[in-house]
A and B are shown apart, each in its own frame.
Chain A
């Protein structure tokens, strides 16, 4: 498809270029109508008439190209618009889900972490108390007692630090992370809405542009067709006069 379009574009452009060069090269010949110029004008006219079918063909191809480009670009723009709509909907849903569910869940999750850490610290404290009680009535096993109690105290210390960390994490989540995420989602939703609006406006604009482009190409083609008809009629008239004479 792409290669076909490329070849379609390449042909009329080269023909158009040749036509323009030809046209500009002839422009200077109309500077002064003098004697003997009549013959040149007639020749020029004959040349123009001869070039008209080519120009008409190019104009026809230009029109087809304009229509094809319009179809293609409008389809792409409509896809962009559909994607923008989806993006905007997704951003809206994410924001809504966070506002209605996610925020509370993340907060509850952090609170559960804190409660679990508190439980671990309480368990570690209870276990240390049990071990201390067990070894307090223990007249033996001094080395084991030292090892076990030291380990249990360390576990309690780690559990307490874990509890402290979970408390700080909860505060961080509540005060900074959740509002920041809310803003982030709001920002994303606004940007998606903006993207949707741009896509809608872009499509409207493109439709107009393409309408104009097609209209111009049609005008060009119709103009040349009229000229060709005119030239054809003139030629026929001349031929009839010649036959009569």
Chain B
């Protein structure tokens, strides 16, 4: 009986990973991951603009008409922040270090994004990922130098200012406001708020954020979005919609589960245990087809359980971060299951996108993919040339 069970388990492991048209293996090893990572990093290296930025701050496709003009620039700032993190986690090379430093310089020099319109406050994404990236950069041993520390502190604070101004009364961060429009917006989502919880904690430790209530409110917000079914509500509601094909079903929450579990566990929220991290990852792989179906659908929330194409790489990035919160001896197996879903959607040139081919989407998607692969590889600890 146990032999039969083992055989069945092996069959499941060998079955192709769910995908729309790709026969991806159930697992991929580190070697294949490194090859794909190199391609992604090469793409980022090649596509960096001379001023250190990636992509463009202008709308470069018809499919996103309707957003405020400022939003495209804000998304560029956010995607550039993620790209810098991808370069930070990359295996060492002089060229990559130069790319990273040019990228940081651009984030320092470029103007701070501003509110785009009464309803469109997508500039918060610039604040969220700009701040998170600055804190991660500052936490890296290579940047703990007298030259870099004050620069990164200033970088973190310029993007934190956006967060400080836009934390909603219930504690989270969102990217739209509803009537009656107000200077401080009122609507927030669990996953966007989750992106900065660990960075807020680290910033407090560094003494760069003095008010701990900001993180406390944000943590409470994400925690309150936690649902009994293991999912996280899209936004905070007294009575969340969970029936039918709700987005708050686990199948519509596969990315949010990873981001929120990672954030709450990282800041020491006790309701998220290692078991809960595992359960979230299991749900992620069990229902992965719902992310596959939504992949590259240009209409947001059109797929089953209101999944959007852009959930895909975000979900995989945070899944990789969750894996690294598990005991060290079990991480490789999880990464091996995650990698095929990253590699199968990587273009021949190393770029990845899950929604549109706008430049900010490709930069963010490629960086998310690179980061997720990097988290599954042993970190090379060498000194970067300064």
Please list the residues of chain A having a beta carbon within 8 angstroms of any beta carbon in chain B: 123, 126-127, 130-131, 133-135, 137-145, 147-148
Number of interface residues of B (CB under 8 A): 21
Complex: A39 Cα to B297 Cα, angstroms: 126
B298 on interface, CB distance cutoff 8 Å = yes
Closest beta carbon of chain B to A122's beta carbon, Å: 11
B61 on interface, CB distance cutoff 8 Å = yes
The residue from B61, B296, B357 contacting A140, defined by CB atoms under 8 A apart:
B296
Contact A145 B347 (CB under 8 A): no
In the complex with contacts A140-B296, A148-B298, A130-B20 CB distance below 8 A: no
Contact A140 B21 (CB under 8 A): yes
Contact B20 A141 (CB under 8 A): yes
Q: Which residues of A contact B348 (CB under 8 A)?
A: 139
Residue of chain A at shortest CB distance from B349: A137
Q: Which residues of B contact A145 (CB under 8 A)?
A: 296
Complex: A131 Cα to B61 Cα, angstroms: 10
B295 on interface, CB distance cutoff 8 Å = yes
Q: Which residues of A contact B293 (CB under 8 A)?
A: 143-144
In the complex with contacts A127-B62, A130-B63, A139-B298 CB distance below 8 A: no
Q: Which residues of A contact B62 (CB under 8 A)?
A: 123, 126-127, 130
A-B contacts at CB below 8 angstroms, number: 51
Complex: A135 Cα to B83 Cα, angstroms: 24
The residue from A126, A137, A142, A148 contacting B21, defined by CB atoms under 8 A apart:
A142
Chain A interface main SS type: helix
Q: What are 9 inter-chain pairs, A to B, with CB distance below 8 A?
A: A130-B61, A134-B357, A137-B357, A138-B347, A139-B347, A140-B345, A143-B293, A144-B293, A148-B297
| Top 9 A-B pairs, shortest CB-CB distance | A141-B296, A142-B21, A134-B357, A143-B20, A144-B296, A144-B297, A141-B20, A141-B295, A130-B62
Contact B356 A144 (CB under 8 A): no
B19 on interface, CB distance cutoff 8 Å = yes
Closest beta carbon of chain A to B39's beta carbon, Å: 13
Which chain B residues (1-45) contact chain A, with CB distance < 8 Å? 19-22
Q: Which residues of A contact B357 (CB under 8 A)?
A: 133-134, 137
Contact A137 B347 (CB under 8 A): yes
Encode contact with A along B341-368: 1 for CB under 8 Å, 0 otherwise: 0001101100000001100000000000
Contact A140 B297 (CB under 8 A): no
Residue of chain B at shortest CB distance from A123: B62
Complex: A133 Cα to B19 Cα, angstroms: 22
Contact B296 A131 (CB under 8 A): no
Q: Which residues of A contact B344 (CB under 8 A)?
A: 140
In the complex with contacts A134-B356, A134-B357, A140-B63 CB distance below 8 A: no
- The residue among A126, A130, A141 with the most chain B CB atoms within 10 A of its own CB is A141
Contact A127 B297 (CB under 8 A): no
Complex: A97 Cα to B140 Cα, angstroms: 77
Q: Which residues of A contact B297 (CB under 8 A)?
A: 141, 144, 147-148
Closest beta carbon of chain A to B258's beta carbon, Å: 21
Which chain B residues (61-105) contact chain A, with CB distance < 8 Å? 61-63
Complex: A143 Cα to B294 Cα, angstroms: 10
Closest beta carbon of chain A to B348's beta carbon, Å: 7
Q: Which residues of B contact A141 (CB under 8 A)?
A: 20-21, 295-297
Contact B296 A138 (CB under 8 A): yes
Residue of chain B at shortest CB distance from A147: B297
